[in-house]
Structure 1
């Protein structure tokens, strides 16, 4: 057994009372045994209960749950940070050309390794990931994640219209390939599968219906797609599906709006769509960095709260320009500040840990440091350079530490990333 001594913060249960329900131990102990968290609390008490445990002293650092990124695209790791486009032209000029390269399985494996390394370097231990239309691309990611026992939710992108022929499948092949990937990977180790139509404009009604059949057949798989990101996109959906009562209704018609459905963006939703999301138990992935970068709009957190919609934080790499979830919250704060309803640091922390895990029905395993959860956690060094040493006091409260790092931090603040009880990333001292 290993006992880590540090300051510790996490949310042990679902909540909307972030100040009251966060658990903070300034001199804390986290005890793990193999892949599992065994105990958490004041260091002195745990050390007395488990005197034989090997102690690692992390004085001056914080232990937090591994972070959850609820929407991102691993093939776009190499197309991140291109200038000057909005959503639809971004897809045409950057995304689709990049994704064509993933017909090469060796290339897919290479990028998958880089992608997972970037997640771990930034403290992310679980990702909800879009691959490409190529089945081998999806397999490459699951295989690389399995090698390090990392929790990944991913799926083969499905598109059968309004995309290059090299990236097009069909209703039949999308269904067959997705079913085979589910049988091979879903609930195997820590892998979960997500049915992944890219978005309504690139799927025919027949393809959405075929994926909806799989959603009924495999009730515990995830669903991930995009929703109401861009005004031109919404107008396009209306032309393509004239009988639908709005964008969300397109997915609802085909049994794709339910618990474990994760909709990226949701910026321009109608009151009826907000209400439907709330009653369905679906999740909206809030991607502030991407929304700002593509000029898509400002997410309405107030409406999400009012309709009791699950919200989870996400980078949306590669339209998102960082893998760092702290910085992603920093942009979420700015988006909400523009609407005179700032998201507090503790709520931001919740949306990338326990709140995301609750939304996805995974809080028995990830998102917290509860006994029985998997030992996915990060060690944060808040005072990692001259500026943060000046700004962040040694005895600063957690909300101030988190907020300061959301503005001033980067991957240098992540000292260690532990996945399934093994340290998979450790910052080099020279950094």
Structure 2
């Protein structure tokens, strides 16, 4: 398979291959000895030129320089639909639930991100962690400080990463140092940041109300007006995560039919809007999200850690609601896509609509790659290895630990092999992370991986 565009500076990568021939369908294909050909397009982006069995494809590229990884497997880079980079250092903090966790850990820590030097140090560590865990695209929260966005975007640009983030909007029920004391100014800052960063290289901007209780109606509706002005930016926030939070929203917005309706009334529900959690939506909410093309970011490790509840896969599928997986660090307990996929499997087993539901391994993997990319409206760009996709991928070592080596050697089907890695895997499975055709090396530590 070849792209219609002629690429230059071609490079070959020989290993096993794992990808999704139909990105809309969670049915993976595995090739034990494959060849991936990448090259640079006219816009400077490194893309995939061709993919297939080595024996079939290699004769078409007789002079191709090939990197060979015997025994390893190339797979799409993971896509994280919801993560907080400023919460890197509060991961693993004990709390009684969501609201106490925000009050005691998150809010005090995020105040430090008005300092660019501090924000830069955390950003560099955060992006190193993403690369170590094979996450090559993420939709991230920054903080209420414009500096936190500028620093993050500059670092992502330097690393040539496809990242989306935005200044957090919160003009009430927030501590000093985080609260937007001037609502009009917070909206102007958002517009300025969109103009400065959105669409620059591989960067995107997300209009980012923290959650409905920390924004006035004036701020939410102002954000909706900006969304209308910039239809190709993303929107991100939280919805229906926690029962205490939902009661608070009903007190603050009595005119709204539901928590989700607060955002809908403000003009913040549309294509490219991504709402984290979506645990306590009703049928009308799910259908409304599906109708406008909005996305649910499923965050199973944080939902389990904070005791928030379980995402209802059965009801979401019935409503044709788009969704994908997210780590939700630091409420989430790991950067690892394998831990997230494993937690999603556990959550689905508790499904209200279908107790004992078992998500197929290919479906779990799809939710964190091609499915997440489609939910982010980046289908055909990231999360897959099809020709035309950007050359961001991971190299898996299924023998990364003695137990993995023993278990994967005994699997008889692709599903068994994938599930073994999901359940037993962590960052040691990621032998290499490749971004734009270059092996990513951490900036703050030596890379001792295989």
TM-score between the two structures when normalised by the length of structure 2:
0.93
Name 2:5's counterpart in structure 1. Answer: none
The one of 206, 218, 233 equivalent to 2:245 is 233
Aligned equivalent of 1:31: 37
Asked if residue 58 in structure 1 is aligned to residue 69 in structure 2, the reply is: yes
For structure 2, list consecutive stretches of 5 or more residues without a partner in the other structure: 1-9, 41-45
Note the aligned Cα RMSD (angstroms): 1.4
Question: Would you say the 8 A contact 2:370–2:383 is kept in 1?
Answer: yes
Residue 22 of structure 2: aligned partner: 13
Contact between 1:13 and 1:354, CA under 8 Å: does it hold in 2? Answer: no
Q: Distance in 2 between matches of 1:377 and 1:368?
A: 8
User: 1:91 — aligned with what?
Assistant: 102
- 8 Å CA contact 1:327–1:405 kept in 2: the answer is no
Q: Describe how 1:106-117 pairs up with structure 2 within 5 A.
A: 106-117=117-128
2:143 aligned with 1:132: yes
Q: Give the stretch that moved more between structures: 90-99 or 78-87.
A: 78-87
Measure the CA separation in 2 of the matches of 1:376 and 1:394.
30
Match of 1:75 in 2: 86
The structural deviation recorded for 1:261 is 0.1
CA distance in structure 2 between the partners assigned to 1:117 and 1:402 by the alignment: 25
1:105-131 residue CA offsets vs partner (Å, 9 max, x unmatched): 100011000000000000000010000
* Conservation of the 8 A alpha-carbon contact between 1:74 and 1:115: yes
Contact 2:14 2:69 in 1 (8 A): yes
- Alignment of 1:4 with 2:20, yes or no, is no
The alpha-carbon deviation at position 428 of structure 1 amounts to 4.2
Of stretches 420-429 and 77-86 in structure 1, the one that deviates more from structure 2 is: 420-429
Task: Tell me what 1:377 maps to.
Answer: 393
Whether contact under 8 Å (2:428, 2:449) holds in the other structure is no
Paired with 1:233 and 1:286, the residues of 2 have a C-alpha distance of 17
What is the CA distance between 1:394 and its match in structure 2? 7.0
- Please tell me whether residue 365 in structure 1 is matched to residue 378 in structure 2: no
SS at match of 1:224: strand
CA distance in 2, matches of 1:12, 1:361: 18
1:214 corresponds, among 226, 229, 240, to 226
Q: 1:389 to 1:262 in 2, by over 3 A?
A: same
Which residue of 412, 418, 421 maps to 1:402?
Answer: 418
CA distance in 1, matches of 2:417, 2:187: 46
1:338 is displaced (CA, Å) by 2.4
What pairs up with 1:2-401 in 2 under 5 angstroms?
Answer: 2-16=11-25, 18-19=26-27, 22-34=28-40, 35-169=46-180, 170-339=182-351, 340-393=356-409, 397-401=413-417
Distance 1:330 1:430 in 2: 23
Deviation at 1:171, TM superposition (A): 2.3
Contact 1:9/1:24 (8 A) holds in 2 = yes
Give the Cα separation in 1 of the matches to 2:375 and 2:156: 22
What is the CA–CA distance in structure 2 between the aligned matches of 1:51 and 1:395, rounded to whole Å?
35
What is the count of residue pairs matched by the alignment? 428
**Quick check: 292-301 or 364-373, which moved more?**
364-373
Q: Secondary structure at 1:72's aligned position in 2? A: strand
- Separation (CA, whole Å) in 2 of partners of 1:138 and 1:238: 31
Distance in 1 (CA, whole Å) between partners of 2:347 and 2:193 is 37
Q: Which runs of 4 or more aligned residues in structure 1 lie more than 2 Å from their structure 2 counterparts after TM superposition?
A: 12-16, 394-402, 425-431
Counterparts of 1:94 and 1:429, CA distance in 2: 32
Q: Which secondary structure state, in structure 2, belongs to the residue aligned with residue 392 of structure 1?
A: helix
Give the drift of 1:132. Answer: 0.2
Post-superposition offset of 1:400: 2.2
